[in-house]
A and B are shown apart, each in its own frame.
Chain A
Amino acid sequence: MTQGTRRGDAGSGTTRRGFLGMTGAAAAGAGLLPFLKVLPVQAGASDTAVVVIGGTINSLDLHRTGTNRPSYEVAVNCYDRLVSFGTKTLPDGSLSYDYSQIVPELAESWDIAEDSITFHLKPAARFWDGTPVTAEDVRWSFERAVTVGGFPTVQMKAGLLEKPEQFEAVDEKTFKLHLLRPSKLTLPDLAVPVPFVINSKLAKAHATAKDPWAMDYLHKTTAGSGAFKVVRWDPGQQLVYERNDDWAGGPLPGLKRVIIREVPNPSNRRALLERGDVQVSFGMPDKDAQELARSGKVQVSSTPIENCINCVGLNYKFEPFRDSNVRKAVACAIPYQAIFETAAYGQGTPMWGGKPEIDSIAWPRPFPYDTDLDKAKEHMAKSGFASGFEVPFSISLGIDWMEPTALLIQESLAKIGIKTTIDKIPGANWRTASLVEKRLPLHLENFGGWLNYPCYYFYWTYEKGHLFNSSNYDNPEIETLVGETLDMQTSNPAYAPKIKRLFEIAIDDLPRIPLWQPALNVGTNGVSGYEYWFHRVPDVRGLKRS
């Protein structure tokens, strides 16, 4: 059988077939949109697309404790923020968000003062239930984000959005943000998925004394003003978006309906895309991206993820890794090219063999190390561990690039006397072990900062005690430099030298050895308008059938 016959049948007007699974919702009593039952929409239709993802969407509310990364897309597609980022075309012709450009979404304009930013909301902005979006809604939503704890609060804090008192609804359409101190991070942090604006009246109607933030309600229902609304959610299977034709946040999306289908098996995702059964495969494995791009059957966008590096972590708690020579020996022993080819299939950007002199503040930047076993052996000989040592090499179960990388590094390290045993840690334990307890001597790590500044990357990964500093690295100079640069505008002349100094230290101290900058691979077949976003979840608003 082929999709052709199936589509043909679907078009033949049978009453049930070809509809995109609405009866369940209707039967469940939700009765959201009864007319959907007679809307003949199918995969082949011009205004519908199917997107396959590997993960599971576990909540419709990003603010909820326990909401996982794939769920963030609901915040992106169904809710609006005050501002968003612009769009740019990359050298390869693909689209990407533009970090340098903040554009209006709910706010039509904003005035930046020394101690505050005042946003003027679009008059046309309305929630799906028709009520206008008010400054109070914004205030309530922001207060929610900084109060509920966990990730949203942390992310808000990164933009210096910490206290409810900072948020003021001046009038119906004017929202004032009081700044703790000016920072270049504040405005971009308002464009990340977290500070999304909820229909507060609707939410409050479902709030209880025990649940003042309507967590239970918003967990299963969306109440926003965004381009799409969720009309059906079968946890573990699919999510169906339906376009909000009255969207004021941006140009009307090209698709009326988007189905997000969860297909855990990457092989199946690939086959579905190749056969044209789905239009977008989001987050493809590097191998599939490489092969499909070569075959030319489908469009593959492989965008290096900004501010993200796959690296080897050397834990300072582990005695041998306190020795600078050992760390350099490891850096020289790693078979970068082989790893890049076998684990990443050439997708992404190499982060080794860079120029020794630091001439720019572009980040990520390749470190000036390359595979050189002789040099590695020299370093080992100079170190206090000339006779070698044993160390467990920890990787996470289920992160596909880690295993081949670890195997190749293991093999190379054996040649310089470092004997490793690979320890696969189940997903649940991985975070605890690597980031919270920071107890893994030798491990693989990848952090990507949403806010695209080197100082932001260093803040999370090189500062003592910070979550992604899995190496227990502790350097007062880094603390000082990051503290100085974090809020500083990049245009400040003092900025670049300090960042260069950060790079120097990182290159010499090597708590993290960069391997490569990974790519986000998205295959499209029959749709265009895919745009890369830092948040690495599908933004379906720009898609259209081609």
Chain B
Amino acid sequence: MAGRPKTILSRIAQALPVVVGVVIVTFLLTRALPGDPAVYFAGPSADQNSIAEVRAALGLDKPLPEQFILYVGQLLHGDLGQSISTGQPVAVELARRLPASLELTLLALLLSCSVAVPLGVLAATRPGSWVDHLCRVLVTAGVSLPTFFTGLALIYLFYYLLGLAPTPIGRLDFLYLEPERVTGFFLIDAALAGDWETWLGALRQIILPAITLGLFTLAPISRITRASMLQALSSDYVRTARAAGLTGRTVVYRYAFQNALLPVLTTLGMVFSFSLGANVLVEKVFAWPGIGSYAVDALVVSDYAAVQGFVLAMALLFVALNLAIDIAYTLVDPRIGFEKR
């Protein structure tokens, strides 16, 4: 199937201008941010002279194009610069924080899918029934909740009032040790280490933010599942299957569901990158040490390097994700690579 590698290569080629675009836009955007990093760097009670010194030291006195070339040059060396607010190299910060965000997002999606997909299938098999309406109300309510509000409400209910949830202070209560870092995903690392107590501790920390985020992604997933299931169920091949005596479960899962999976997959990709963005507020509320909260803090203090690094990382992630989706698509759908444009 020579079509597939070609399809994937062309996707990568398409992604390149996007990355370039992101680099440019990010650079311009961060330069347009208010606030003067030189002033920030110079610290309290610094005067005009020391600020000017710092500005020159940071290269901020150079014209914009020159700064951009400098920046791109650093990028190509893998140097994302140093964050003002945390004082760490941005690359190190991102590497440390990205797994936290990914773990949260992935778990949220996993939770969301495990609810939304069956809901969507259920609704599609009984369109117009009360189950259908109920599903719609539920998922719509989910997507209508502002994540920051859901997060606060959940914390209030489960932590302050009921005392069921642990303190929302990040990935692990400080009574536990961080598991040996293998993947950076605490749940996986703890499981690999066989340390189930830490695993449980990490799970307890992650569950509320994951639910908060997951609630928000229920709607798109279940909507698309329902729609594509409905379409698949009314398709000719399902009728053929039924006419050949195949029974409910085979028809629904092997025939309809597998076909319905394709649009779901696409949506999932979009939802994933979207929730990585939506993470920002959830991470803020739950003090989650991910890249979202990092970006918010960085933006507020006009931390150029951090913002640039964050956006770039996200863009690359987005591109990689789309690529992964495309590859997944080719695995599920044999037609890929054969389509005419």
* A and B: bona fide binding partners: yes
Segment at the interface with A among B2-10, B46-54, B212-220, B272-280: B46-54
Contact of A150 among B54, B173, B179 (CB under 8 A): B54
The answer to whether A43 and B174 have CB atoms under 8 Å apart is: yes
The residues of A that contact B88 with a CB separation of less than 8 Å are: 58, 235
Q: Does A16 contact B (CB under 8 A)?
A: yes
Residues 27-56 of B, flagged 1 when their CB comes within 8 A of A and 0 if not, give 000000111110111111111101101100
Chain A contact-residue range equals: 35 or more
Question: Which of B157-165, B245-253, B311-319 makes up part of the contact surface?
Answer: B157-165
The docked-state distance in angstroms from the alpha carbon of A14 to that of B93 is 31
Asked if A428 contacts B170 (CB within 8 A), the reply is: no
Q: Does A342 contact B (CB under 8 A)?
A: no
Q: How far is the CA of A427 from the CA of B85 in the complex (A)?
A: 12
Supply 22 A–B pairs (Cβ within 8 Å), ascending by A.
A16-B198, A18-B175, A23-B177, A23-B180, A58-B87, A65-B41, A65-B42, A65-B43, A65-B54, A149-B50, A149-B54, A150-B54, A153-B50, A154-B45, A155-B45, A235-B93, A259-B174, A428-B40, A431-B35, A432-B34, A436-B51, A468-B45
With a CB–CB cut-off of 8 A, which chain A residues contact B198?
A: 16-17
A31 is an interface residue with CB less than 8 A from chain B: no
Q: Does A356 contact B (CB under 8 A)?
A: no
- Asked if B301 is an interface residue, CB under 8 A from chain A, the answer is yes
Closest A-B pairs by Cβ, 10 of them = A428-B35, A151-B43, A428-B302, A58-B87, A429-B34, A429-B35, A59-B87, A66-B41, A428-B301, A432-B36
Q: Does A318 contact B (CB under 8 A)?
A: no
Assess A20 versus B174: contact at CB under 8 Å? Given A58-B87, A268-B169, A429-B35: yes
Question: Whose C-beta in chain B lies nearest to the C-beta of A26?
Answer: B180
Chain A residues lying within 8 Å of B173, measured Cβ to Cβ, are: 6
Beta-carbon contact of A235 and B87 below 8 Å:
yes
A238 at the interface (CB under 8 A from B): yes
Known: A21-B178, A22-B177. A151 touches B42 (CB 8 A): yes
A398 to chain B, nearest CB (A): 7
B309 interface contact, C-beta 8 A: no
Shortest CB-to-CB span from B135 to chain A, Å, is 33
Asked whether A58 and B85 contact (CB < 8 A) given A429-B34, A429-B302, the answer is yes
Partner of A19, one of B48, B85, B177, B181: B177
Contact A66:B43 (CB < 8 A) given known A21-B174, A263-B287? yes
Q: Does B260 contact A (CB under 8 A)?
A: no
Per-position binary interface string of chain A over residues 68-95, scored 1 when its CB falls under 8 Å from any chain B CB and 0 otherwise: 1101000000000000000000000000
Known A-B contacts A66-B84, A235-B88, A436-B51; A261 and B46 likewise in contact (beta carbons under 8 Å): no
Structural contact, B300 and A428, CB atoms closer than 8 A: yes
**CA separation between A521 and B44, bound complex, in Å?**
22
Whether B174 and A151, one on each chain, are in contact in the complex, defined by CB atoms closer than 8 angstroms, is no
B167:A237 contact, CB within 8 angstroms: no
Check if A105 is an interface residue, CB within 8 A of chain B.
no
Q: Give the distance in Å from the alpha carbon of A523 to the alpha carbon of B169 in the complex.
A: 18
Note all chain A residues with C-beta closer than 8 A to B43: 65-67, 150-151
Q: Is the CB of B159 within 8 A of A66?
A: no
**Chain A residues numbered 237-275 whose CB sits less than 8 Å from any CB in chain B:** 237-238, 259, 261, 263-265, 268, 271-272, 275
Contact A264 B33 (CB under 8 A): no
Q: Which residues of A contact B257 (CB under 8 A)?
A: none
Closest to B84 in A: A66
CA distance A489 to B123 in the complex (A): 83
B167 touches A436 (CB 8 A): no
Tell me, rounded to whole Å, the shortest Cβ–Cβ distance linking B154 to chain A.
13
* Contact digits for A379-417, partner B, Cβ 8 Å, 1 yes 0 no: 000000000000000000110000000000000000000
A193-230 interface (Cβ within 8 A of B) = 219
Give A432 to B43 CA distance when docked, in angstroms. Answer: 11
Chain A, Cβ-Cβ closest to B178:
A24
Chain B residues with Cβ below 8 Å from A154 are 45-47, 50
* Cα-based distance from A277 to B168 in the complex (angstroms): 12
Interface size on B, residues (CB 8 A): 61
Among A151, A153, A236, A277, the one with the most B-chain Cβ atoms within 10 Å of its Cβ is: A236
Measured between alpha carbons, how far is A430 from B169 in the docked complex, in Å? 28
Q: Give CA–CA (A271, B287) in the complex, Å.
A: 14
A58 to chain B, nearest CB (A): 4
B181 to chain A, nearest CB (A): 6
Tell me the bound Cα distance from A441 to B70 in angstroms. 38
Chain B 239-296 interface residues, beta-carbon cutoff 8 Å to A: 284-285, 287, 289, 294
Task: Given A397-B300, A428-B301, answer yes or no on A27-B40 (Cβ-Cβ < 8 Å).
Answer: no
Q: Is the CB of B159 within 8 A of A64?
A: no
Nearest chain A residue, comparing its CB with the CB of B165: A1
Are A1 and B163 in contact, with the CB atoms below 8 A?
yes
A236 touches B39 (CB 8 A): no
B165 to chain A minimum Cβ distance, whole angstroms, is: 8
| Residues on B with beta carbons closer than 8 Å to the beta carbon of A19 | 177
Report Cα–Cα, A66/B164, bound state, in Å: 40
Contact with B along A452-464 (1 / 0, CB 8 A): 0000000010000
B40 touching A66, Cβ below 8 Å: yes
Given contact pairs A56-B85, A426-B34, A468-B45, enumerate 7 new A-B contacts (beta carbons under 8 Å): A18-B176, A20-B175, A56-B86, A155-B45, A272-B169, A427-B35, A429-B34
What's the least CB distance linking A163 to chain B, in Å?
16
Given A23-B180, A150-B50, the answer on whether A236 and B294 have CB atoms closer than 8 Å is: yes
Contact A151 B159 (CB under 8 A): no
Do A24 and B181 touch across chains, with their CB atoms under 8 A apart?
Answer: yes
Least CB separation from B171: chain A residue: A237
Taking a contact as CB atoms under 8 Å apart, the answer to whether B34 and A16 are in contact is: no
Q: Does A546 contact B (CB under 8 A)?
A: no
Contact across chains for A1 and B164 when beta carbons are under 8 A apart:
yes
* Interface assignment of B197: CB less than 8 Å from any CB of chain A: yes
- How far does the Cβ of B253 sit from chain A's closest Cβ, in whole Å? 39
Distance between B198 CB and nearest chain A CB, rounded to angstroms: 6
Is there contact, CB below 8 Å, between B41 and A16? Answer: no
In the complex, A261→B173 CA distance in Å? 11
